[in-house]
Structure 1
Amino acid sequence: MSERGALRTRLQLLAREIAKFGAVGAIGFVVNAIVFNLCMHVAHLAVVRSGVIATAVAIATNYVGNRYWTYRDTDSGRRSRELMLFLLFSGIGLVIENGVLALSHYGFGYTSTVADNVAKNVVGLGLGTVFRFWSYRTWVFRALPAREAVQTAESFLGDAPQPYARNNSGS
């Protein structure tokens, strides 16, 4: 395969990964926004506390979506390590997301519902999402090593019947 063809294939795979990550993230965004507003307006919790609770619920939703759909073909042999790293990087994303909210609400004095939602669910979530995408694909949902992937594929091929094998018996 030419370098240009290889680059095109890599870009197509990256675009597919970003689309899946985005779809999972969109579901997480809806969960996050609903829980955030319920905590603030129904449970009457403080704004940052509401943000942290909402982000934690969205993190759980996103783990399931990313593990079993976006990155389902990656190495899952060390699931406890994967989950630990996912929670670590999600926690950093939570701090980014809710840090923007705290800065906007308490630092700059933008305390309206619209301002809180924009700070948390647009600016903070946007920054947190870029960080999460990079960290998840780099550290958490790692691709299978090439040798393992080839051996796995060969094991499937070795067990498969050969429907088009030639019969050398003369018939």
Structure 2
Amino acid sequence: MSDLASLTLRMRDAIGGIWREAAAFGLVGALALLVDTGAYNLLVFGLPGVAGAPMRSTPVQASAIATGVAMIVSWAGNRYWTYRHRRHENVTRELALFVFVNIVGLVITAGTVALSRQLMGCECVLGDNAARLFGWAVATLFRFFTYRRVVFLAA
């Protein structure tokens, strides 16, 4: 087999592997996004048709709590499915790095809500969710590349 053919096969395998990993990461992230968004909306806006929401006056803190709950879902999905072939025996180190990376992601997501509310004065469902989705997208890119390079290292 020629060097070019060998290189082509290696590149195809690497690209195929990263696409499968990105798809699994995306599915875990989509589930975590549903948990995050649902929890946030329940905390800040309550159930539709029911008066009162427990954290209506503290949306940034509600965002942090919702993201924290979603982080637990993400940890389980990524550790035991997306990166099952890359996890190490040192769970404590891996979990500490995962939590640190997700705290950075949490700051990104909660920060977009704070900016939306404080700079733009937007205090509505659409504005909050648009700000959170933008923050979530930026945080997701950060997480994907950081999980691969720092948290779930190849064994």
Q: Is the TM-score greater than 0.5?
A: yes
In structure 1, what is the equivalent of residue 137 of structure 2? 126
Displacement, 1:108? 1.5
TM-score normalised by L of structure 1: 0.81
Identity of aligned residues (%): 38
Aligned partner letter, 2:41: N
Alignment of 1:11-90 (within 5 A): 11-42=15-46, 43-45=53-55, 46-90=58-102
- 1:145-164 Cα deviation digits (max 9, x unpaired): xxxxxxxxxxxxxxxxxxxx
Please identify runs of 4+ aligned residues in structure 1 that moved more than 3 A: none
| Post-superposition offset of 1:18 | 0.2
Tell me the equivalent position of 1:2: 6
Distance 2:9 2:143 in 1: 29
Is the 2:79–2:87 Cα contact (8 Å) retained in structure 1? no
- The residue type equivalent to 1:79 in the other structure is V
Partners in 2 of 1:130 and 1:77 — Cα distance?
26
Pick from 128, 140, 143 the counterpart of residue 116 of structure 1: 128
1: CA distance between counterparts of 2:82 and 2:54?
35
CA distance in 2, matches of 1:41, 1:3: 54
Question: Match for residue 141 of structure 1?
Answer: 152
CA offset at residue 75 of structure 1? 3.3
For residue 44 of structure 1, report the CA deviation from its aligned partner.
3.2
Structure 1 unaligned blocks of 5 or more: 145-171
- Match of residue 149 from structure 1: none
State the Cα RMSD in Å: 1.0
Aligned residue pairs, count: 143
The answer for the alignment partner of 2:49 in structure 1 is none
Q: Which runs of 5+ in 2 are unaligned?
A: 47-52
